[in-house]
Amino acid sequence: MVYRTIRRYTETGSVNKRHNGGSRPTATAPAMVRRVRARLYRNPKRSAKKMAIQVGISPRSMRRILKNKLKTKPFKIQKVQDLNDNQKATRMERARQLKSRYGKGELPNIVFTDEKIFTVEQYVNKQNDRIWATGKNEDNADWFRAKRKHSAASVMVWAGICETGRTPLVIVPQGVKINTEAYISLILENSLIPWSQQHFLDQPWTLQQDSAPAHRSRQTVERLHGNGVRFITPQEWPPYSPDLNPMDFSIWSILENKVCGTPHASIEALITDLQIAWEDIPQETVRDCCDNFQRRLGLVVAARGNYFEN
């Protein structure tokens, strides 16, 4: 002990122990930590297992370094809209204006609308869908497969939501293209306007729709004005913003999870399930999604137009 103490003092200038006793760490030693930190700096997208193989330590030791020594966490890569600086500035400015108008009550009873295509094929959520089984074999092989067909049968639907209700789910007939004439006759005159008159009575309400050609055509605008419908114009809505419409960022996903967990034998079966599931979505869920609209506008402004959440 005396010899070790003298040697420690000679080499370090102190009699304090160099470490806390016991065997010294090797795989998680400071030199290895620095090496892993440098690798993360060069390429943070490599997996822990791959980095462990490259530096010659176990995956468990690598995870200890990443979590305990470097205090890092694995984050998922998100798909976002590619925006240039001008688009970000426009998006932020319009989001700021809408947020201000919404807060002042200038956009009462917003009805968020959208179209979506559903297919008879099974929808698979790669992140959440799992199969509990002891293993794979010939008897349960189909459990692990979501089959795909070339040009699978599909149907387009239209719908709208607001804090206090929802429109009927409109099934677009097979072979019908949503041009201006079809949008006015099938959507506006047969569904949206009659529903709004019955739902809102004499209360004012505001229509939100995307900037599809049929939505912003002169005939559509004239028909909306003729029926006294106030609406958010394409020049007022933030561009490239699927994360702002509750139909896009929430409701369609809920409907798809309810209906498309298993494949459908026919279009008729798919339509029946869509109509049932549409009515089964709790109104509390719909209201929460609509209430979330203002918060998302604020996030777009705070992120200087670059906020996206999938």
The more confidently predicted of residues 50 and 77 is 50
Pairing state between β 230-231 and 110-119 = unpaired
Per-residue pLDDT for 161 more than 90?
Answer: yes
Whether residue 125 is found in the same domain as residue 203: yes
Report the number of distinct structural domains present in the chain: 2
In a domain, residue 251? The reply is yes
Q: Domain span at residue 275? A: 85-302
Of 39, 69, 99, which residue constitutes the final position of a domain? 69
pLDDT at 19 (0 to 100): 66
What's the CATH number where 260 sits? 3.30.420.10
pLDDT digits 0-9 by tens, 11-22: 888 888 776 666
**Looking at 15, 39, 69, which one is the last position of a domain?**
69
Q: Which of 51-55, 103-107, 129-133 has the highest mean pLDDT?
A: 51-55
53 & 103 share domain: no
On whether residue 173 sits in a domain, the answer given is yes
How far apart are the C-alpha atoms of 192 and 69, rounded to whole Å?
58
Quick check: is 76 in a domain?
no
> Is 6 found in the same domain as 150?
no
The pLDDT score that the predictor gives to residue 159 is 96
Domain identity same for 173 and 231: yes
Helical H segments across the chain, by residue range:
2-12, 30-42, 48-55, 59-64, 85-103, 180-182, 193-200, 213-216, 218-226, 246, 252-259, 267-280, 283-302
Q: Same structural domain for residues 254 and 175? A: yes
Q: What is the pLDDT of residue 143?
A: 67
In sign, the C-alpha dihedral spanning 220, 221, 225, 229 is positive
Residues 49, 22: one domain? Answer: yes
- pLDDT computed for residue 5 by the predictor: 87
Does some domain include residue 309? no
Average pLDDT, the chain: 88
Question: How buried is 24 (Cβ within 10 angstroms: 0-12 exposed, 13-18 middle, 19+ buried)?
Answer: exposed
Considering the domain architecture, whether residues 30 and 103 belong to the same structural domain is answered as: no
Q: What is the pTM of this model?
A: 0.76
The pLDDT score that the predictor gives to residue 138 is 72
State the pLDDT at residue 114.
Answer: 94
The pLDDT value recorded for residue 211 is 86
Same domain, 90 and 236: yes
Query: Do 308 and 78 contact (CB within 8 A), yes or no?
Result: yes
Residues 175 and 32 in one domain: no
Instruction: Decide which of 19, 37, 69 is a domain's last residue.
Output: 69
In terms of domains, do 129 and 177 share one? Answer: yes
Q: Give per-residue pLDDT as tens, 183-241.
A: 999 999 999 999 999 999 989 999 999 888 999 999 999 999 999 999 998 889 988 88
100 and 176 both lie in a single domain: yes
> How large is the average pLDDT for residues 123-133?
70
Closest by CA position to 98, among listed 245, 200, 222, 227: 245
Instruction: State the DSSP code for 144.
Output: G
The answer to whether residue 297 is domain-embedded is yes
Residue 162's pLDDT is what? 95
Both 93 and 62 in one domain: the answer is no
Query: Which pLDDT score, from 0 to 100, does residue 22 have?
Result: 61
Number of H helices, E strands in the chain: 13, 6
